[in-house]
Structure 1
Amino acid sequence: MPLIQTTSAAEEIRRLFQENQNIEKDKFPGLVTQHFQNKYASEDAFSQIPVLGLDNVPESFEDGALVVFYGMIQDTSLSSELYIAKGSSDEIGGWGLPDLQDNSNFQPDDLLECSVFWVVSIPGLSSWSTRRSSISKPDTQSPLPYKYPATNVAHVGVQLKVYDESLASPLRATDVHAFVGILNSESFHFNQDSEDVPSVPTLHVLFKNPLQRTIIPRSFPEASLKSSIQTVRKDLIQWIACEALDGDVIVAELILLTLLTKVQSRKPPILPLSLTISGFPPPANISAIPTLQHVLGLIFPMVSTIQLSLDTLNTTPFCPESKDEDLHSGWLQLPVGSIVILNEGAVTEGTVSNRGVSNIRVVQEAMQSQTLEYVFPFSNYRFETDINFVVLTESKNSTFFETNFNVPFDQKNTAAEVREILYKSADQISLPPDAKLDSFRRLVGAACVGKVAVGEDIGKYVEQDFITERAAGQFTADDLVRRMSIAKMVALSFHDTELSIVHWKHIKELERKIKEKQHLL
């Protein structure tokens, strides 16, 4: 396997050190960060750094290569590591540089700490949403596969060493960044005292660029779509419906709107809305992935499917759990902005174990409170998250979960034909022209980061509408909050910055169509 040759960042670090002999040792890591961040600040310069990933796995690179890794922080609990910052012969240590030639006479104040993390490929990451370079694709297996959220999914896992405390201190589990650093292979830091210490890919961080929930930076509204937004929106919904939902545009629109919701407030709770698509036919082959994942993955940056079965519920983890002081991952340890499709098509009759019941509770709490439980030996902690959920079920209601919306799927073709549409492979999807697909992504990406204001006039209109509906039937305050949330998403999907009566009437008409479907099926 040919190794990828790269310019030596180590020589630059040594040169920086020699040029800054008078700087305090604990200030030098910050100088390194600033130097390399400035050097690769332009898009052209940054694009020259090879990408570490499944296209170019760690074994593809020579020791000491400069790489960029688009990764998610999985474990922040690893102990920090001491390193000799300066040797007796004025040599520099750290950043994966070769061991100092004479380290026998160092002084205690020559030691500094670096922070250690475990980072994995961003779960569910769509191939179009980050820069990739395809040089080699050897078979690879992460040395610590239990630290990746999805079971038996190919990925890259990397031990991260961060020398600049200003970079390390803000890092939290499930954060996503583009980490640039020097790659080598070292012992897994957690197991230093073990007899069997695995050697793992290790990235010595020079600097990092945080990634938006959309991965590709977006701004709202998208100026380039201003004149065509209504057409693009209509075409997007039609394309989702035709390719993944047997032409059901009502379901397609509700999927789009619910996936645009996000955490707006925790006190009071204004959280992402969850959706059940009922009457959704199961696959002929229980391992078949819904076409919906492939289609959504072409326009959203992070989409994952959990094929629910009794075995999945009873035997696999859905939340992170510390075992022997090593944090194992779970299905829902995902970045902010992730979409999770829960497919109940493989569920059969049988017994749900205690673990299965716990997993169902973890998912339901993630939907309702947008927090995820991390299990530790003597206590459990809840960490905030921001994930969208879509449940696919053959029944009238989800077997396990309660969601904000339940919309029946309306199949128009025979059972066999519908299954072909709902579970076709990614390469069978009819793609729109590149320019059209890009406009879909820009519409969705901008809407995901946008905000909608509610003016005084529309506020009064909504209030009066609520009073009228409540007096006439079963409309509640919770219904109003849910309708207001989805109405704002209507505005976002049209790239409007303020809610209007048109948006309000649009969502009421969509609700009417959904009720019609529920009565007919």
Structure 2
Amino acid sequence: MQELIKKPLNEVDIFFKSCHHDPEKTVEATLDFFKKQLDCSTNDLLKVPSLNDIPQEQLMLGQLVRFRCMIQDMYDPEYFMPTFYKDDALVTSLFRDPLDENFGHEFADSRPVDRYTWHCIAVPAENEWVNNGYQRESNTSASIGADLYTAARDEEVPVKKRKSEQKAISDMQPLRYQCFPLSTHHKSCIVKVYSHTTCLGLNDVIEVVGIISRFPERAEESQLENICFGTDEYFFKNPPTSVIPRIHAVFCKKIFHQNPLLGYHIEEENAILRRRMLEEAPKWRNELMSILTQALLGDEHTAEYVLLHLISRVYIRHDVLPLGKFSLNLRNANAEHAKLLAQLFSQLLVKSHLVEMSLEFLNGTKFIPSKDYDLNRIESGLLQLPNGTHLICDENALDAGQLSAVGVENFKALGNMIQNQTVQYNFGFHRMEFDTDVPVLYVSQGKGLIRCDFQVKLHPVKPVHQLPEVTATIKEYLTDELLLNLRRYITITEMSDHKLNEEMQRTVQDDFVSMRAANPTMTADDLHNLLVVARYVALSKGELDLTLESWNHAKGLEAKRLASCA
């Protein structure tokens, strides 16, 4: 495996010859080979050095690398000549850049082929424990990467960055920052994709494995000097590899849950662990309830709604209705509550982010992604987030003043995402709607300015001034072992499917008739909310079918919530 990591292009060249110099067959054979090699063996996949963990300077030209990332933009297809003549021999430019092998300029008698180009960024809002977990999982990568780095360093002569490269970096940096929705995780790469059958899309989180391009210094300088003959768009999308690594993908896999404690396939690799966690779900539910109740100063009812929010997701879309969404407005809570919950979420969830909604932030931050037609790329915004990212929005930070036009648009966009789980990207002449799945906990003193699916009023048993003591107590209580189990519990319950059998369907219908008779103002929307609560009550207990006990529990929760918010 180490030889394959070090010299993957040898395999490409072998397939090129065995496929009689046919570019399409070469691509197909190469992708099939690496899929069998990497998709069937998680151990082999983890041996490939990861750009998430290793600086690109420690990677050698033409070696295999991995990158766990989000597809931030998908550029137009690019066309290139797949074959060249070098020393009178026919060679291929597939899975590499021409400068990599110092190809000549004599094209072979073949038609151009196309490939896709993606701009991929480190997963936004990914919490620190997730990255640490992947690093531990890939403990062999560091040693292999170090070996390759030593070999590369021995072969190359260190040269200081030339002025042309330094200028390119400084000119490009402000534009690069606009490609990231958040102010952290500024790592990205350009991915060249040769498969035309991929079903991946914008904002998907993927693990891409590919062949890295790192140009020699002289070739890089020559490219930079000649780039003035190209357009700004070309310069932006083909930056120096010292600034943005370039990866020619041989294997891509969509990551659905991103929890390093569960592997890539919950159903396949961890079926036993999954069954055990569902069997033990009541135990971990009680543990999580205890922690959340402490964080909410003794309010067990509110803590249960926060727990249900933690395991929520959009599990299906019926026409335009996203089923399963569980945005929660936590009322009577101050900024300290928001910070404590954000800190707790960062320890339990894969992805989370605190948004302090000050007037300055709303007026000065870009929420909505937009199309930059000069560079033909998507300029990111705060709401360009991967599915499963939990936002904690703190309305307490909103001070007196007037929202600008940008602030009003941001507020509307956030409200639209909370209510419909869609984000309307601004393409100048029109808006394009993208589905998303971003659960939002909206913290406010009174009723939130943005309508959420559920609102619950905090009734603390302990005084608010004890929050620092509560924070310290929770920190001490959360041992590494407990955190490990809670992280598994949350992901497994969130990803599990839930059914409503025929008997329970009749029970729900009968109860709805009875509730309508007792309260004529009850609507179908109220029933929908009740079913959503019942779904997550059952899943939180490890039940894949709704039971009568969980249904009655959900009815009690909703009755108490509605009474307290009246």
Give the corresponding residue for 1:505: 552
Q: Percent identity?
A: 23
User: C-alpha separation between the residues in 2 aligned to 1:191 and 1:75?
Assistant: 25
Kindly report which structure 2 residues correspond to 1:199-214, keeping only aligned pairs within 5 A, or say none.
199=240, 200-214=244-258
Query: Where does the alignment leave 5 or more consecutive residues of structure 2 unmatched?
Result: 146-168, 216-222
Letter in 2 for 1:146: Q
Give the corresponding residue for 2:287: 235
Kindly report which structure 2 residues correspond to 1:120-519, keeping only aligned pairs within 5 A, or say none.
120-129=121-130, 131-132=134-135, 143=173, 144-150=176-182, 152-167=183-198, 170-185=199-214, 192-194=230-232, 198-199=239-240, 200-215=244-259, 216=262, 217-219=265-267, 222-242=274-294, 244-263=295-314, 264-267=316-319, 269=321, 270-283=323-336, 290-323=339-372, 324=374, 325-393=376-444, 395-398=445-448, 400-418=449-467, 421=470, 429-430=475-476, 432-473=478-519, 474-515=521-562, 517-518=564-565
- 1:289 Cα deviation (Å)? 7.2
- 1:356 Cα deviation (Å)? 1.0
User: C-alpha separation between the residues in 1 aligned to 2:180 and 2:320?
Assistant: 33
1:52 match: secondary structure = coil
Contact persistence 2:19–2:26 (CA under 8 A): no
1:212-269 CA distances to partner (integer Å, 9 max, x unpaired)? 1455443489311354321221112212333x43343322221121333332232272
User: C-alpha separation between the residues in 1 aligned to 2:339 and 2:394?
Assistant: 8
Q: Please state which structure has a larger fraction of its residues in helix.
A: 2
Change (3 A) 1:336 1:346: same
Pick which of 315-324 and 288-297 moved more.
Answer: 288-297
- Aligned residue pairs, count: 496
- 1:428 Cα deviation (Å)? 8.0
User: C-alpha separation between the residues in 1 aligned to 2:10 and 2:530?
Assistant: 59
Contact persistence 1:271–1:369 (CA under 8 A): no
Give the corresponding residue for 2:158: none
2:476 match: secondary structure = coil
User: C-alpha separation between the residues in 1 aligned to 2:313 and 2:429?
Assistant: 32
Change (3 A) 1:190 1:509: farther
Give the corresponding residue for 1:64: 62
User: C-alpha separation between the residues in 2 aligned to 1:42 and 1:421?
Assistant: 45
1:51 match: secondary structure = coil
**RMSD (Å) for aligned C-alpha atoms:** 3.1
User: C-alpha separation between the residues in 1 aligned to 2:24 and 2:5?
Assistant: 28
Contact persistence 1:469–1:475 (CA under 8 A): yes
The yes-or-no answer on 1:111 pairing with 2:161 is no
Kindly report which structure 2 residues correspond to 1:21-36, keeping only aligned pairs within 5 A, or say none.
21-22=19-20, 24-36=22-34
User: C-alpha separation between the residues in 1 aligned to 2:253 and 2:437?
Assistant: 20
Letter in 2 for 1:406: Q
Letter in 2 for 1:91: V
Change (3 A) 1:155 1:431: farther
TM-score (norm 1): 0.86
1:411 match: secondary structure = coil
- 1:340 Cα deviation (Å)? 1.4
Contact persistence 2:280–2:542 (CA under 8 A): no
User: C-alpha separation between the residues in 2 aligned to 1:291 and 1:6?
Assistant: 44
Change (3 A) 1:276 1:10: same
TM-score (norm 2): 0.80
